[in-house]
């Protein structure tokens, strides 16, 4: 089950960030959440987020009602990154896990200075219950980022 914690959405023009309860946000919905190690980083900006921008319509056609991108960057960085990357309003919700509560709860926090980062993953949840877990980190230690991209999520639906 997804933890009941708060995530934050940055607003244009530096207005106060909007708080979202993950439990309330996902209640009664089919949701895809994908996490990236950091906004504006090469792999996240060139491949991971663009895969979901390009695949958003296919996800909704497959019954996904909400798509969330998270990173441990602050809400304003997430908002700017989404805007810069071309995320259209009303599509992917760019949410900050600024205290790393979500990635810690899911066991995918990389504790490092100067900030905690999330390992790369995607998940599918129905009514707050995780039905598919797609990590980049394989049991043998190899990392396969493509396992967390939109095509892999679509295949898991």
Active site residues: 44
Tokens of 144: 């396969």
CA 149 – CA 52 distance, rounded (Å):
7
* Alpha helices (H) in 27-93, listed in sequence order: 42-43, 49-61, 75-85
Q: How many residues does the chain have?
A: 157
Asked if 68 and 95 count as a contact pair (C-beta separation under 8 A), the reply is yes
């Amino acid at each position: 089950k997804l933890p009941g914690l708060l995530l934050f959405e940055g607003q244009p023009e530096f207005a106060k960030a909007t708080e979202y309860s993950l439990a309330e946000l996902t209640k009664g919905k089919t949701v895809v959440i994908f996490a990236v190690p950091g906004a504006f980083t090469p792999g996240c900006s060139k491949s991971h987020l663009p895969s979901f921008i390009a695949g958003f319509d296919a996800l909704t056609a497959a019954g996904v009602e909400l798509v969330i991108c998270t990173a441990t960057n602050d809400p304003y960085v997430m908002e700017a990154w989404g805007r810069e990357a071309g995320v259209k309003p009303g599509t992917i919700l760019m949410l900050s896990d600024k205290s790393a509560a979500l990635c810690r709860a899911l066991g995918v926090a990389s504790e490092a200075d100067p900030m905690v980062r999330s390992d790369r993953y995607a998940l599918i949840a129905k009514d707050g219950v995780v039905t598919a877990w797609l990590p980049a980190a394989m049991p043998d230690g190899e990392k396969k980022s493509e396992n967390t991209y939109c095509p892999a999520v679509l295949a898991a639906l």
